[in-house]
Amino acid sequence: MKKIPFVDLHQQYLTIKTEIDNSIQNTIRKTSFIGGDDVSLFEKNFAEKLDIKNCISVANGTDSLYIIQKMLGIGEGDEVITSAYSWISSSETISQTGAKPIFIDIDEFYTIDANKIEKAITKKTKAIIIVHIHGQSCDIEKITALCKSYNLFLIEDCAQSHLTEYNNKYVGTFGDAASFSFYPGKNLGAYGDAGAIICNSDELANKFKMYARHGALKKHEHQIEGINSRLDGIQAGILNVKLKYLTEWTNKRRQVAELYLQNLSGVEEIKLPLVRPNTKHSFHLFVIRCKNRDELMKSLKNKGIETAIHYPHALPSLKAYEYLNLEKSQFVNAIGQESELLSLPIFPELTEYEILTVCDEIKKFYL
Ligand SMILES: *Cc1c(COP(=O)(O)O)cnc(C)c1O
């Protein structure tokens, strides 16, 4: 039987091979390896696509979170609230600024439980980093209201949620600034590391840009010490090509998800992902909760179906956060699901036949 991979970036490349190859060749011909037209064009294109004023490209989606916090003035003595269930970048970058990450358990949508945030706000709280995980939107209405009444910055981690919509508006446009990753496997992925920050404020945009470019907006005019965080020319060219297909690819992901939802709906041993009301989920991941997860994973692997676990450990369970002495009972949802999570194959090129095969094999396992 033909294998069903978890993702297949080479298959996607083949559908746009000529454009990608030309773009890479052009960058080499122009020797615009760092900076140049393609980088500024991508910043313009991405901002236009999301209907926001500014886009600042950076080296990856971890730098973007760090730069945002640093330029919002977050540092030593501050607290930043974030979700207990995410990739470590969303909390790691809080610590990098010198501030303390405050974890909040998740709701039934895998996103930060908005009802538990208020209790965690202290005099030291400066910001909330929400993570639109799997492509799901957080409870933006409740969270923006909280940020307003407590005067907190709202930072959106959109590494997994390119083109996710909430109330007909793209996520990433609700807070003070948002962070995107273009890691190859993300919904918009480069062929290496890449990331971006978006925001409406010109003042903040200038700060982000300056900090990412060694503290200088003009060459050799360093206003402050910054860092070196750049999107390179080859990646920008590739992203410009791929951005044109993002809407189509996102809709295909939604179709894949719809087929999974239809065909797995009766299986008692499985909890299917819910979609928050007023949300257009972008399904970066299709995560189910299931009984006998490890056996199911092994059985699917034997049938040539590749699955993954996002993530085996909630952030408060990681050794990296032992020093915080967290009360594990505060994270019943995030920690309680650790042994049940399974991510099914999802990418735009997945065929209906492949999706139905995955569903059939899951059903057979539980028979
Ligand atoms: C991928 C990811 C990041 C980090 O992106 P990189 O480009 O790999 O640094 C941050 N947050 C979340 C939720 C992610 O999934």
Q: What is the DSSP string of 214-226?
A: TTEEETTEESS--
Q: What is the DSSP letter of 100?
A: E
Please count the CA atoms within 13 angstroms of the CA of 228 that sit on its side-chain side. 3
Average pLDDT score over residue span 35-59: 97
**What dihedral angle (degrees, nearest 10) is formed by the CA atoms of 235, 240, 241, 244?**
140
**Residue 233: predicted pLDDT:** 98
- Supply the residue whose CA is at minimum distance from atom 2 of ligand 1: 159
Average pLDDT score over residue span 171-188: 98
- How far CA 56 is from CA of 59, 229, 230, 264, in Å, comes to 10, 10, 9, 41
Phi, psi angles (nearest 5°) of residue 121: -75, 130
- Supply the residue whose CA is at minimum distance from atom 10 of ligand 1: 89
Phi, psi angles (nearest 5°) of residue 307: -125, 180
Work out the mean pLDDT of the chain and round it to a whole number: 98
* 187 Cα–ligand 1 center, Å: 12
Q: What is the DSSP letter of 264?
A: H
| pLDDT, tens only, 256-268 | 999 999 999 999 9
Average pLDDT score over residue span 336-360: 98
The two tokens of residue 179 are 């962070």
Mutate to test the pocket of ligand 1, among 58, 60, 62 (most ligand atoms within 8 A of CB): 62
Average pLDDT score over residue span 10-33: 97
Q: Is the pLDDT of residue 2 over 90?
A: no
| pLDDT, tens only, 320-338 | 999 999 999 999 999 999 9
The two tokens of residue 251 are 């809709």
**What dihedral angle (degrees, nearest 10) is formed by the CA atoms of 156, 105, 87, 256?**
-80
- Supply the residue whose CA is at minimum distance from atom 7 of ligand 1: 61
Residue with tokens 């189910």: 288
Number of the ligand 1 atom closest to the C-alpha atom of 86: 13
| pLDDT, tens only, 127-169 | 999 999 999 999 999 999 999 999 999 999 999 999 999 999 9
**Residue 246: predicted pLDDT:** 98
CB 313 within 8 A of CB 87: no
- How far CA 303 is from CA of 1, 218, 361, in Å, comes to 8, 57, 8
Greater model confidence, 1 or 208 = 208
Number of the ligand 1 atom closest to the C-alpha atom of 60: 7
- How far CA 91 is from CA of 64, 85, 117, 167, 269, in Å, comes to 13, 10, 16, 27, 32
Q: Assign 241 a pLDDT band (cuts: 50, 70, 90).
A: very high
* 135 Cα–ligand 1 center, Å: 13
CB 147 within 8 A of CB 128: yes
* 340 Cα–ligand 1 center, Å: 22
For 329, residues 6+ apart whose C-beta sits below 8 A from its C-beta are none
Number of the ligand 1 atom closest to the C-alpha atom of 193: 7
Q: What is the DSSP string of 30-46?
A: HT--BSSHHHHHHHHHH
Cα 75 to its chain centre, rounded Å, is 23
Q: Is the pLDDT of residue 30 over 80?
A: yes
| pLDDT, tens only, 87-143 | 999 999 999 999 999 999 999 999 999 999 999 999 999 999 999 999 999 999 999
Number of the ligand 1 atom closest to the C-alpha atom of 194: 7
Q: Is the pLDDT of residue 249 over 90?
A: yes
Mutate to test the pocket of ligand 1, among 66, 83, 87, 111 (most ligand atoms within 8 A of CB): 87
* 269 Cα–ligand 1 center, Å: 30
CB 57 within 8 A of CB 67: no
Are β-strands 100-104 and 79-83 bridged in parallel, bridged antiparallel, or unpaired? parallel
Ligand 1: residues with CB < 6 A are: 60-62, 86-87, 89-90, 131, 157, 159-160, 181, 183, 193, 195
Phi, psi angles (nearest 5°) of residue 95: -60, -40
Burial level of 343, CB count in 10 A (0-12/13-18/19+)? Answer: buried
Q: Is the pLDDT of residue 1 over 80?
A: no
How far, in Å, CA of 48 to CA of 333, rounded? Answer: 37
* 186 Cα–ligand 1 center, Å: 9
